[in-house]
Structure 1
Amino acid sequence: MELHQLQILRELGALGSVTAVAEAMRVTPSAISQQLAALQRGFRTPLTRKQGRTLALTAAGEVLAAAGAEAIDAVAAARNALDDFEHDVTGAVAISGFHSVGQALFGLLLRELTDSGPAPAVHLTDEDVAQSEFPALTARYDLVLAHRMAHSAQWPANGIRSLTLVREPLDVAVAATHPLASRRSLSPADVAGERWVTSRIGYSPDDVLRAVAAVANRPVQVQHRINDYGAVAAVVATGDAIGMLPRYTSRSVDDRDIVRLPLHGVNTLRSIDVLARPENLRRSSVRRVIEALQRAMARLSG
């Protein structure tokens, strides 16, 4: 039993397929299968089972994967002890963020790091995925900026750590010429009968809109499904539909022809969280980036 085999077992449980593990670890699927077979030879109890066309962990495999995660963390702690002792904050840190948080936060983050002395070598990318897909990204990036609606399931606790940067409301956006534009706030009954531009299913605006329909006890008319908030605002400005915009992370949107209004009667809060594998959080450079993210988000939401 070797450490990298335990890591493969853990990733199989987290990602759900040999192909996904191979992609995350940048090796071939056959190499992953060979290592799983080698690991299995050390145990009489099956660690994996066929589930349709994919490979899943058995109960024994899940137990070993959880114990392996602790072993990986312990080894990472030992490997990074010298790094922490020498206060090396310039190591490389790979960061993924969903589109709107990248537009709003990446520039502020770079300025925060530049202004605070020697900085980590950050590598930024955007991954526009549904809420359920964020945890898997921690296999590819040191830090993952993710969003989660307040009423939805918590992030997985096994092998992942989360830190909330901010709790952000989603506001209703209407054209400046819309009859609702003069209101100070809105209720589900006020907006359920409108035509809507919202996100694809699995993203925050669509979650809120389904809550609006439930509270108002009537179906809503979805005319457009657009994930880019700039495009949403452009559609709203024409008066063709009303939409949802995050209060902090869509500030780059042109508001000259739209009005944002708080929505009461449903929970519109989403948390913007940092997700990471626990071993990555032991690195000084990663912790330095998290501190800069906290400062940048405080400026953005202030």
Structure 2
Amino acid sequence: MEIHQLQILRELGALGSVAAVAATMNVTPSAVSQQLAALQRGFRTPLTRKDGRRLALTAAGEVLATAGAEAIDAVAAARNALDDFETAGSGVVTISGFHSVGQALFGELIRELSPSGAGEDAPTVQLTDEDVAQSEFPALTARYDLVLAHRMEHSAPWPTQGVRGLTLAKEPLDVAVARDHPLAARSRVSPADVVDGPWVTSRTGYSPDDVLGAVAAVAGRPVEIRHRIKDYGAVAGVIAAGGVIGMLPRYTSRTVDDDDIVRLPLRGVSTHRVIDVLARPENLRRRSVRLVVDALGRVMARLRG
């Protein structure tokens, strides 16, 4: 039983297919299958099973993957203890962020980590935007050192097996209307005020659509959805054109031009989404990664305040 075999088993449980594991680990599917077969030879109980055309973990495989994650973490701890002793905080840290947080934080993060802001001993970040549904964020930790993710405050927490979550902020979603809309003069609104819409909202599985479902439930009648758009800049443009109501995050959509729209707090339903940093435990042991996490916290504090 080798550490790299345990890594493959863990990734199979997280990603759900041999092809996905191969792509993540930059090897061929044949190599993944060979290593799984070699690992299986050390155990009498089957570790994997066929699930249609995919390969899934058995209960025994899940137990070994969980124990293996602890072993991987322990090996990473030993390696990084020496790294922390011998090396500085410089190095490359890969980061994935959903679109609105990337627009709000990425530029400021680069400034925060520049030699003038963080000193000569600063990490180098490589940034990517990955705007996925809430349930898909944990799997991105297989590809990036840090993943900026969002979830609704009332939703289930992130899985704890092999993933750590650090909260950056709790961000309300505000109702947004055009400046000539009848609601624009209000200081706040309730579900009964906005349920009749019509609405521009996100696709299913994203925060605005979750809040809109709560609005309909509290008001006791369905909402009319006219547009489904993920990008908040495009959403703001449609709202400013008039005729629809929408929702915008309070902090991370401030790069959107607000001259033609009015934001209104929504009372009576839970509107907060939690912005978290997700990472594999072994990545958080790297000093360069921890420096980036600290910098993200400072940037977000300024954005909120």
TM-score bracket, normalised by the shorter chain, equals over 0.9
Is 1:172 paired with 2:175?
yes
Is 1:148 paired with 2:151?
yes
> 1:15, CA displacement in angstroms?
1.0
2:118 corresponding residue in structure 1: 116
> 1:63, CA displacement in angstroms?
0.6
2:93 corresponding residue in structure 1: 93
> 1:214, CA displacement in angstroms?
0.7
1:222 corresponding residue in structure 2: 225
1:200 corresponding residue in structure 2: 203
Residue identity in the other structure for 1:36: L
| TM-score, scaled to structure 2 | 0.98
CA distance in structure 2 between the partners assigned to 1:67 and 1:239 by the alignment: 56
CA distance in structure 1 between the partners assigned to 2:243 and 2:16 by the alignment: 42
CA distance in structure 1 between the partners assigned to 2:22 and 2:189 by the alignment: 48
1:40 corresponding residue in structure 2: 40
1:275 corresponding residue in structure 2: 278
- C-alpha contact 1:96 1:143 (8 A) present in aligned 2: yes
- Structure 1 stretches of at least 4 aligned residues deviating more than 4 Å after TM superposition: none
> 1:87, CA displacement in angstroms?
5.0
1:255 corresponding residue in structure 2: 258
Q: SS at 1:6's partner residue?
A: helix
Identical pairs, percent: 78
1:137 corresponding residue in structure 2: 140
| TM-score, scaled to structure 1 | 0.99
Q: Deviations over 1:237-262 (max 9, x none)?
A: 01121100000000000101100000
> 1:20, CA displacement in angstroms?
1.3
CA distance in structure 1 between the partners assigned to 2:64 and 2:110 by the alignment: 40
1:289 corresponding residue in structure 2: 292
Q: Deviations over 1:171-208 (max 9, x none)?
A: 00000000000000010010001100000111110110
Residue identity in the other structure for 1:195: P
Residue identity in the other structure for 1:69: A
Q: SS at 2:236's partner residue?
A: helix
CA distance in structure 2 between the partners assigned to 1:301 and 1:215 by the alignment: 29
CA distance in structure 1 between the partners assigned to 2:26 and 2:200 by the alignment: 38
2:81 corresponding residue in structure 1: 81
> 1:222, CA displacement in angstroms?
0.5
Indicate the larger mover: 64-73 or 77-86.
77-86
Residue identity in the other structure for 1:296: V
Aligned positions of 1:38-77 closer than 5 A: 38-77=38-77
CA distance in structure 1 between the partners assigned to 2:142 and 2:111 by the alignment: 27
1:184 corresponding residue in structure 2: 187
Q: Alignment partner for residue 244 of structure 1, among 232, 247, 254?
A: 247
Q: SS at 2:184's partner residue?
A: helix
Unaligned stretches of 5+ residues in structure 1? none
CA distance in structure 1 between the partners assigned to 2:27 and 2:209 by the alignment: 36
Q: Deviations over 1:132-185 (max 9, x none)?
A: 000000000000000010111110000000000000000000000000000000
Q: SS at 2:270's partner residue?
A: coil
Indicate the larger mover: 28-37 or 169-178.
28-37
Residue identity in the other structure for 1:165: L
CA distance in structure 1 between the partners assigned to 2:22 and 2:221 by the alignment: 46
CA distance in structure 1 between the partners assigned to 2:292 and 2:80 by the alignment: 17
Q: How many residues are treated as equivalent by the alignment?
A: 302
Residue identity in the other structure for 2:39: L
Unaligned stretches of 5+ residues in structure 2? none
CA distance in structure 1 between the partners assigned to 2:23 and 2:217 by the alignment: 40
CA distance in structure 2 between the partners assigned to 1:40 and 1:292 by the alignment: 43
Over the residues paired in the alignment, what is the CA RMSD in angstroms? 0.8
2:10 corresponding residue in structure 1: 10
